[in-house]
Amino acid sequence: MTILEQYEQLEKTIRAYNPSADFQQIHAAFEFANEAHKSQKRKSGEPYIIHPLAVAQIVAEQKLDSESIEAALLHDVIEDTSATHEDIARKFSPVIADLVEGVSKLTRMQYATKEDEQMENLRKMLLAMNKDIRVILIKISDRLHNMRTMEYQSPEKQKQKSLETMEIYAPIAHRLGMQRIKWELEDLSLKYLDPIAYAEIVSKMDAKRPEHEALMERTQKQIDDRLNELNIKHIIYGRIKHPYSIYRKMFSQNKNLQEIFDLFAFRVVVDSMGDCYNVLGVIHDLYKPILGRFKDYIGTPKPNGYQSLHTTVMGTDGIPFEVQIRTMEMHDIAEYGVAAHWKYKQNGQGAGTEGRYEWVRRLLENQEGADAEEFIHSLKVDMFSDKVFVFTPNGDVQNLPAGATPIDFAYAIHSAVGNRMIGAKVNGRIVTLDYSLKNGDLVELLTSKNAKGPSRDWLKMANSTEARSKIRQWFKKERKEENILNGRSAFESELKHCGLTMKEVMDPDILPELMKKVAYPTLDDMYAAIGYGGFSAQKAVSRMQGEINRRQQARKQEQQLLEAELAAKEEQHVSETKQQPKQPKKPSRSEHGIIVEGLDNCLVKFSKCCTPVPGDKIIGFITRGYGVSVHRCDCPNATAERRKDPSQAGRWIDVSWSDDINETYPTTIEVVCKDRANLLLDISAALSTSNTYVLGINTHSTEDNFAIIRLDVKIENTSQLQTLINKLNQISGVLGVSRPAG
């Protein structure tokens, strides 16, 4: 089919359900996309415009409005061409530009991991979807066509995209009630994820197809004849279970093809809800119902709006089959989900107000601050898991993820209820908080105003992201100091497990880079997040480990260069005659504000024992593996006696401060004071008024009611340091302020 023929087919599809569509604008969108993509080819070698046309065709088959068709034709122009949001808004409309922007990936940004990129793309899409549900309808159509043409991709890309489709897009289609597209996405994904199993199922089904079709024809005629006798107006048709559904039951439940009860299914579509129940009686009169296999989704619809009566019966041939009974409107919603709403709106037009689904907003709210892995996990659990329906004592229905506990139930009602909960009753009996709720359970919560709040164990018992998010928020707000202590302990334990030390993390040269890796402004913020469960110690260490190893390797290389340079200079010095007049040494260039006499490109490290700052008299010591370590001259580790030690001869070297310093330097101040209330508050005020950047505060109380406070700060020079010391000395209860050395 030529490009023009494909476009004409698109128009024909649209005219069949929406003859009043804006065909002039639709054609303009086609021409704009065709021009924008004219130099691009797909992996198959076809012109790229084939893809937007195919996506628009899928959108049209869902009977969506003109704006959706236009956005589908244009959906890749922002991402893959030079066209911008402004260009589309100007030529078409801001609404269409927003739809296209919502479908586009964040390809122009850099992310630390593939998971982070996937999370941000999904979060962006959900935000756009919250404003206009048509974003996700176009995106799912885009993914469906990509899966239909996946054979042109590499095997690695096939598996990657198929897994993403199976875990994200097919479940979203299910959550939106788009069963027909969901089934096709699952089948196409299975084809690449487990090609052997897929081929085996298709082969077995093809081999039995004549037998299956004859059975279905006989059964369909039996039902059709009986309903005609009773003058019940209806449409009936049968279907065989699709390959992925068969695969899931065969492999997850260890069943063979003969053990799958709903391998065959019939749908009976009638005019009214009353007729649905009438047909149910007819079916149960014709065939023997199988106990426990009846479900009334009309009285209790699924969360995605799905409504039908389901019953499984034993056929006259001794083969069980399922019958689904519904009205035409229920049928459209079952097949096309949220897209079916457009059929029931005037002229097929609308701004997608049905898309303002509460579950989308709740999902976004619960994921504020979540990392990539937690976000993706929550999508799979909260959005896509099977649901369990339970009742409140007032008879209200709450739908929760399968496996939900009373904790999930409590936080679904309100965070305050969850925080005050001390127990729960199910069907009148007290149960443990990890009890797994079942459909139809009547749940009563026991609360107390004196409750101490949630336990950390609740995070393991809760099965919904909403509950876990609210529990973490409580700990984040109420137990910050405890969170920091617990988080630091877990972090240090994980460091030790990985063969790293806090000394390596606290290195002022590397600490800012490490904080970027974990996306927290300070270590305390990271500790607090680990403490309340918002981040894991394993992730923190794994993200830092690469940077630490990289820095260590760079130091080794620089040390090797330094040692080679020192050996060359020593050899040169020995060869020079004593009579030769000494030439003044040429100072090297500054490194971190330090000039090392006679050496270029030298690694400089400030010693932790005395933490020098500009203005201090300093001396350098050549270390093994870490370049030159800079000490204060009054440091116990750099006394005159140590410098004269023969075993260290030649390792002490003159260093000086550069004239062009524009950095701040870490140093430590020790405050000895009488312990009292609000002491830390007064010290914090002194630090704030002197514009001092604080790296950390460590306090220790003695038995005789004294406190020793150790402040790790960043200072520009000794003048600023002395100003800070003077301010601290003026605080009530402060007995002395000093700089530790050694």
Give dist(CA 409, CA 162) in Å, integer.
34
* Beta bridge partner(s), residue 620: 630, 653
Least Cα distance to 739 among 611, 605, 608, 606 occurs for: 611
Per the CB < 8 A criterion, the answer to whether 60 and 14 are in contact is yes
213 annotated active-site? no
DSSP 8-state symbol, 442: B
Burial class (CB in 10 A: 0-12, 13-18, 19+), 555: middle
Beta strands in 306-356 (DSSP E): 309-314, 320-327
**Who's near 368: CB < 8 A, 6+ residues apart?**
none
- The two tokens of residue 715 are 């200072």
Other beta carbons within 10 angstroms of residue 705's beta carbon come to 9
Per the CB < 8 A criterion, the answer to whether 95 and 73 are in contact is no
DSSP 8-state symbol, 290: P
What are φ and ψ of residue 295, in 5° steps? -135, 130
Give dist(CA 685, CA 688) in Å, integer.
5
- Give the CA radius of gyration of the chain: 35
Write the single-letter amino acid at 107.
T
Give dist(CA 403, CA 394) in Å, integer.
23
What are φ and ψ of residue 234, in 5° steps? -160, 165
- Cα-based angle 333, 335, 339 (whole degrees, multiple of 5): 55
DSSP 8-state symbol, 246: H
- The two tokens of residue 655 are 């260093």
Residue whose tokens read 């005159």: 640
What are φ and ψ of residue 416, in 5° steps? -65, -35
* Beta bridge partner(s), residue 388: 400
What are φ and ψ of residue 728, in 5° steps? -65, -40
80 annotated active-site? yes
Give dist(CA 198, CA 183) in Å, integer.
14
Residue of 22, 79, 354, 712 marked active site: 79
DSSP code per residue over 543-607: HHHHHHHHHHHHHHHHHHHHHHHHHHHHHHHHHS-TTSPPPPPPPPPPBTTEEETT-SS--EEE-
Cα atoms in the Cβ-side hemisphere of radius 13 Å centred on 623: 17
**Who's near 715: CB < 8 A, 6+ residues apart?**
613, 664, 665, 666, 667, 692, 721, 724
Residue of 11, 80, 296, 492 marked active site: 80
* Beta bridge partner(s), residue 713: 667, 694
Task: Tell how strand 655-657 and strand 397-401 pair up.
Answer: unpaired
Least Cα distance to 223 among 239, 238, 241, 212 occurs for: 238
Per the CB < 8 A criterion, the answer to whether 227 and 270 are in contact is no
- The residues carrying an active-site annotation are 79-80
